Amino acid sequence: MNRLPRDSGEIGYNFQDGTAIKKLFVSEEIHDKLGRGLLAIVRFDAGYEVIPSVVAMKIKLRDETCIVNNTATQPENGDDDSYADYKVPDDLMW
């Protein structure tokens, strides 16, 4: 019910599921939010879906094995970012 549409995905997002590395094709906005921990990846049926992190927290209370990827949230304001002065290359993708 809370999964986000991924039909316009042009950027590959790599994530780890157990010992395997998997890839989802998502939009640039979803890729950015996944990297910042605002979205999470969960197992659904035979595949994977992207959902908001707040929903992932609620699912985690019921069944922690469904959550595949939910990175720690980084501060939005950038006040606590010790690397704020360093420029990240535009072509840096994991």
Rg (the chain; Cα; Å): 14
pTM exceeding 0.75: no
Whether 85 is covered by a domain: the verdict is: no
Domain count, the chain: 1
* Per-residue confidence (pLDDT) for residue 20, from 0 to 100: 86
For the stretch 8-64, pLDDT in tens is: 678 888 888 888 888 888 888 888 888 888 888 888 888 888 888 888 888 778 877
Q: What is the pLDDT of residue 73?
A: 43
- Look up the domain containing 22 and give its range: 11-69
Rounded Cα distance between 39 and 58, Å, is 13
Is residue 55 domain-resident?
A: yes
Does 93 map to a domain? no
Residue 84 covered by a domain: no
Contact 68, 43 (CB under 8 A): yes
Answer yes or no: is 50 within a domain.
yes
Please check whether residue 24 is in contact with residue 5, taking contact to mean a CB–CB distance below 8 angstroms: no
pLDDT of residue 72: 47
Q: Is residue 17 part of a domain?
A: yes
Terminal C-alpha separation, the chain: 29
